[in-house]
């Protein structure tokens, strides 16, 4: 399939009269007829499409009646290139009959999302002047969204009862798929090796839009666990592959549609956006879209436009990020404080990070361009940016070695790399965390734990550093950070099961130190009025604290479980039942 071939397409379809036919453009006529077998049919014709890559064509026939939603009040106008006629954009959600009420959230997000993209990207796609069916769910029987199969809960929910995570999933799905109007439909990759231009951008812009729509969700902190960690995890494997990978035939394309295209692609876009600044970055993206609208592009085309907007040699800077496997580990070799100049000079080196350790010299040939961000007690949570693009080098920044001073790299996990600090520096960070968690962002705290654990797991770090950092976060209340701590403790427990009781008991004590106070403050009762994260923290804290052997939590769970099996269904909230059953059955097995 050649993505370079674009054409306008005209479709018509003879179908059973009871079928609804959907394709990329609006129906322009439907003429009933009886076929040779005596069946009642209809000939449905559709409007001609704009210039499009043929892989974006789709058509489905749907049995039965559908409930269609139209936005009558929403009027947003675009000016197609070939016409001065302005047309309103119509956004529609199709569901099976009776489920239309569950499409309201997807529709309202789509409406807001469209406005955001128009404002950010300024380009109106001609897709907007035709009907582009995006919202088709598997409930339709032949559920496709473009070429993606999606479960019902990716688009449909009852807004009155849906959890925040369910709403977040729907909002993100809509935001991501609408981003493809620009990244994929308006500008299409020349060949499948550049599929990351579609998926990396759709992922990044999807998160960007959700942040605009729902700032209360603190979406970028969640990005670290949901996207960046996935990218670092997969790309830390020796068996990973570059973002830009040769694809010989179209059928191989599915093999590169993995977390590297979506998550690493999105993460390097986020890194570049953070380094260049949103305005410079978006100016480059806008001019790229403008030059290649209704055409095909390659990665170098995007870099050329970002170079024009930034004045930097972006093609050279980004080459290793797309053409090479892996990402760097930044190692802090030493630091020297100048009391007179009030500066700190830090010696750094970089090498490829492999989660399995044992890096061979030939695997460490790449030198990445690394946009380093530095935060200190002087800068607070803001940061200074600088570039590190050598195997070894130094950076110098303003510093005052006063009491409670600190510094750190990769502020808020904005870069696609890990950092290895010296043991003294880790101890200082842990001490700073104990003084006030607020010295660092939630993203910083997550990356401290994630990096320290990854280094330990790779044989490059001391497990004591992981434990010290978690100890420093014993007053943690951010759900995303708690999730990171919980998963790290769980993994440490599983890999140290053969170690001495002293080590295993130490891990349990640490789990209790972080999560038991949360159980005490949050209790066991849920309220419909409480915020989503409150309930999620309660579930997590009870699960981890009881798993670490916290007596008061276990005894409360046992008491509620006994009442529950005696018939008092209110005694044990549904969210706690699996925790109670898993815990008590595990304890029962131990006593056999
Ligand atoms: Zn996508």
Q: What distance in Å separates the CA atoms of residue 417 and residue 243, rounded to the nearest whole number?
A: 15
* Arithmetic mean of pLDDT, 79-103: 58
Lowest mean pLDDT among 111-125, 199-213, 221-235: 111-125
- Cα of 150 to ligand 1 centre, how many Å? 12
Question: Dihedrals φ, ψ of 568, to 5°?
Answer: -90, 90
Query: What is the residue whose two structure tokens read 């453009």?
Result: 25
Q: Does 180 count as an annotated binding residue?
A: yes
Q: Which residue has the higher pLDDT, 82 or 24?
A: 24
Pick from 41-55, 195-209, 440-454, 562-576: least confident: 41-55
Distance CA(141)–CA(139), nearest Å, equals: 5
- The string of pLDDT tens digits covering residues 415-433 is 999 999 999 999 999 999 9
Confidence band of 197 (pLDDT split at 50, 70, 90): confident
- Cα dist. 470→117, 269, 396, 450, 500 in Å? 40, 30, 29, 11, 20
> How many other β-carbons are positioned within 10 Å of the β-carbon of residue 338?
12
Name the band, by pLDDT with cuts 50, 70 and 90, for residue 172: confident
Q: Using CA atoms, how far apart are residues 103 and 93, in angstroms rounded to an integer?
A: 6
Are residues 42 and 80 in contact, defined by beta-carbon separation less than 8 angstroms?
A: no
Contact 444, 413 (CB under 8 A): yes
Phi, psi of 459 (to 5 degrees): 75, 20
Give residue 36's region: left, alpha or beta (phi > 0; psi -120 to 50).
Answer: alpha
CA–centroid distance, 76 to ligand 1, in Å, is 24
User: Three-state DSSP class for 473?
Assistant: coil
Looking at mean pLDDT, say which of 118-122, 134-138, 182-186, 505-509 comes out highest: 505-509
State residue 334's pLDDT score: 95
Q: Residue 271: its pLDDT value, please?
A: 96
Residue 182's pLDDT band, with cuts at 50, 70 and 90, is: confident
Distances in Å between the Cα of 351 and the Cα atoms of 191, 335, 585 are 31, 19, 46
90 alpha carbon to ligand 1 midpoint, in Å? 21
What is the rounded average pLDDT of the residues 92-109? 71
How far, in Å, is the centroid of ligand 1 from the Cα of 63? 27
Residue 128: its pLDDT value, please? 36
Position 592 scores a pLDDT of 53
Predicted pLDDT at 583: 85
What local confidence, expressed as pLDDT, does residue 180 receive? 82
Mean pLDDT of 449-453: 96
Q: State the Cα–Cα distance between residues 76 and 178, nearest whole angstrom.
A: 15
How would DSSP label each residue in 216-238?
GG-HHHHHIIIIIHHHHHHHTST
Determine the average pLDDT of the residues in 116-133. Answer: 44
Residue 577 has what pLDDT?
A: 87
Chain centre to alpha carbon of residue 376: 28
SS3 460: coil
Q: How far apart are CA 476 and CA 482, in angstroms?
A: 7
Domains and CATH numbers, the chain: 1-59 (no CATH), 60-323 (1.10.390.10), 327-475 (2.60.40.1910), 496-592 (no CATH)
Annotated active-site residue 525? The verdict is: no
- CA 177 to ligand 1 centroid distance, Å: 6
Give the pLDDT score at 118. 56
**pLDDT at residue 147 in the model:** 32
- Ligand 1 centroid vs 484 CA: distance in angstroms? 26
Q: Give the model's confidence band at 288: pLDDT under 50 very low, under 70 low, under 90 confident, else very high.
A: very high
Question: How many Cα neighbours within 13 Å face the side chain of 48?
Answer: 4
Residue 549 pLDDT level (bands cut at 50, 70, 90): very high
Task: Check residue 140 and give its pLDDT.
Answer: 29
Specify which residues 398 forms β-bridges with.
343
Residue 253 has a pLDDT of 66
Global ipTM: 0.99
**Which residue do the tokens 């951008």 mark?**
201
Between 447 and 19, name the one with better pLDDT. Answer: 447
Token pair for residue 395? 């950076």
Ligand 1 centre distance from Cα of residue 377 (Å): 40
In terms of DSSP bridges, do strands 6-7 and 52-53 run parallel, antiparallel, or are they unpaired?
Answer: antiparallel
Give the burial class of 588: count Cβ atoms within 10 A of its Cβ; 0-12 exposed, 13-18 middle, 19 or more buried: exposed
Please count the residues of the chain: 592
Higher pLDDT, 358 or 97: 358
Cβ neighbours of 533 (radius 10 Å): 17
Q: Is 199 marked as a binding-site residue?
A: yes
Report the relative pairing of strands 418-420 and 328-338 from DSSP bridges.
parallel
How confident is the model at residue 209, as a pLDDT? Answer: 86
Least confident of 249-258, 299-308, 469-478, 482-491: 249-258
Q: How far apart are the first and last CA of the chain?
A: 62
The pLDDT of residue 252 is 67
Percentage of the chain modeled with pLDDT above 90: 46
Q: Quick one: CA torsion of 257, 443, 119, 263, rounded to 10 degrees?
A: 0
Q: How far is the CA of 25 from the centre of ligand 1 (A)?
A: 20
SS3 425: helix
Round to whole Å and give the CA distance between 156 and 541: 30
Would you tell me the crossing angle of helices 278-292 and 104-121 to the nearest 10 degrees?
90
Mean pLDDT computed over 20-25: 70
Alpha helices in 180-296 (DSSP H): 195-213, 219-223, 229-235, 253-256, 259, 265-276, 278-292
CA distance 441 to 382: 10
Measured in Å, residue 418 CA sits from the centre of ligand 1 at 27
Q: What share of the chain is helix, strand, coil (3-state, %, to 5)?
A: 50, 15, 35
Does residue 11 have a pLDDT over 70? Answer: no
Mean of the pLDDT values across residues 346-360? Answer: 92
Q: How far is the CA of 222 from the centre of ligand 1 (A)?
A: 19
Other beta carbons less than 10 A from residue 9's beta carbon: 17
Q: Catalytic one among 4, 159, 177, 556?
A: 177
Task: Using the mean position of ligand 1's atoms as its centre, give its distance from the Cα of residue 176 in Å.
Answer: 6
How many angstroms does the Cα of residue 197 sit away from the middle of ligand 1?
10
Average pLDDT (350-364) is: 90
Residue 261 Cα to ligand 1 midpoint, Å, equals: 10
In this model, does residue 134 exceed pLDDT 70?
Answer: no
Helix (H, G, I), strand (E, B) or coil at 346: strand
Confidence of residue 351 (pLDDT cuts 50, 70, 90): very high
Q: What pLDDT digit, counting tens, does each position of 29-88 carry?
A: 888 999 889 999 888 887 777 666 666 655 555 544 444 444 333 333 333 334 444 455
Residues 490 and 453 sit within 8 Å (Cβ to Cβ): no
Which whole number is the average pLDDT over 147-152?
46
Q: How far is the CA of 516 from the centre of ligand 1 (A)?
A: 41
One DSSP character per residue, 108-142 reads HHHHHHHHHHHHHH-PPPGGGGS-------GGGSS
Between 95 and 60, residue with greater pLDDT: 95
Predicted confidence band of residue 122 (pLDDT cuts 50, 70, 90):
very low
What are 144's two structure tokens? 């496709």
Mean pLDDT of the chain, nearest integer: 81
CB 110 within 8 A of CB 171: no
Q: 412-446: b or e for each residue (b if 16 or more CB lie within 10 Å)? A: bbbbbbbbbbeeebbbbbbebbeeebebbbbbbbb
Q: CA 437 to CA 424: how far, in whole Å?
A: 19
Residues 184/51, Cβ–Cβ less than 8 Å: no
Nearest to 196 by CA among 146, 236, 233, 247: 247
Can you point out the beta strands (E) in 24-88? 27-34, 40-46, 52-53, 59-63, 66-68, 77-78, 87-88
Retrieve residue 26's tokens: 């609006």
Q: Is the pLDDT of residue 529 over 80?
A: yes
- Backbone angles phi and psi of 179, in degrees to 5: -60, -30
Q: Rounded mean pLDDT of 298-323? A: 94
């Amino acid at each position: 399939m050649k993505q370079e071939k674009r054409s306008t397409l005209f479709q018509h379809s003879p179908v059973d009269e009871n079928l609804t036919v959907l394709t990329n453009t609006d129906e322009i006529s439907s003429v009933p007829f009886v076929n040779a077998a005596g069946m009642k049919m209809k000939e449905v014709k559709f409007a001609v499409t704009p210039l499009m890559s043929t892989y974006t064509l789709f058509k489905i026939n749907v049995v039965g009646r559908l409930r269609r939603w139209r936005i009558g009040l929403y009027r947003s106008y675009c000016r197609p290139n070939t016409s001065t006629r302005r047309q309103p954009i119509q956004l529609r959600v199709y569901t099976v009959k009776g489920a239309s009420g569950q499409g309201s959230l997807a529709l309202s997000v789509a409406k807001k999302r469209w406005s955001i993209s128009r404002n950010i990207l300024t380009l109106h796609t001609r897709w907007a002047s035709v009907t582009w069916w995006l919202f088709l769910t598997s409930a339709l029987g032949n559920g496709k969204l473009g070429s993606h199969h999606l479960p019902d809960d990716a688009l449909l929910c009852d807004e009155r009862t849906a959890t925040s995570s369910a709403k977040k999933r729907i909002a993100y799905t809509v935001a991501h798929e609408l981003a493809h109007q620009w990244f994929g439909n308006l500008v299409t990759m020349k060949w499948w090796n550049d599929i990351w231009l579609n998926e990396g951008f759709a992922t990044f812009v999807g998160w960007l839009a959700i942040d605009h729509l729902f700032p209360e969700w603190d979406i970028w902190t969640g990005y670290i666990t949901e996207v960046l960690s996935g990218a670092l995890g997969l790309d830390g494997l020796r068996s990973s592959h570059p973002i830009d990978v040769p694809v010989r035939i179209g059928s191989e394309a599915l093999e590169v549609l993995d977390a590297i295209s979506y998550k690493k692609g999105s993460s390097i876009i986020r890194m570049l956006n953070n380094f260049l600044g949103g305005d410079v970055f978006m100016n480059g993206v806008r001019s790229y879209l403008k030059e290649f609208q209704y055409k095909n592009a390659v990665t170098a085309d995007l870099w050329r436009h970002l170079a024009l907007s930034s004045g930097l040699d972006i093609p050279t800077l980004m080459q290793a990020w797309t053409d090479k496997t892996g990402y760097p580990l930044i190692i802090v070799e030493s630091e020297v404080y100048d009391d007179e100049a009030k500066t700190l000079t830090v010696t750094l080196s970089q090498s490829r990070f492999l989660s399995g350790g044992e890096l061979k010299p030939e695997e460490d040939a790449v030198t990445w361009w690394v946009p380093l961000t530095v935060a200190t007690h002087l800068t607070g949570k803001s940061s200074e940016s600088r570039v590190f693009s050598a195997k070894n080098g130094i950076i110098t920044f303003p510093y005052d070695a006063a009491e409670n001073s600190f510094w750190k790299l990769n502020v808020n996990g904005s870069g696609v790399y890990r950092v290895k600090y010296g043991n003294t520096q880790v101890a200082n960070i842990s001490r700073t965390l104990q003084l006030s968690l607020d010295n660092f962002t939630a993203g910083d705290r997550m990356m401290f734990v994630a990096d320290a654990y990854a280094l330990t797991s790779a044989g490059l770090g001391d497990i004591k550093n992981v434990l010290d950092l978690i100890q420093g976060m014993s007053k943690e209340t951010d759900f995303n950070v708690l999730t990171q701590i919980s998963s790290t403790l769980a993994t440490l427990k599983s890999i140290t099961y053969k170690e001495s009781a002293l080590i295993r008991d130490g891990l349990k004590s640490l789990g209790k130190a972080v999560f038991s106070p949360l159980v005490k403050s949050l209790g066991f009762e849920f309220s419909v009025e409480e915020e989503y994260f409150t309930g999620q923290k309660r579930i997590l804290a009870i699960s981890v604290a009881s798993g670490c052997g916290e007596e008061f939590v276990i005894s409360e769970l046992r008491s509620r479980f006994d009442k529950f099996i005696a018939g008092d269904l209110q005694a044990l909230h549904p969210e706690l039942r699996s925790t109670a059953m898993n815990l008590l059955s595990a304890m029962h097995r131990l006593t056999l």
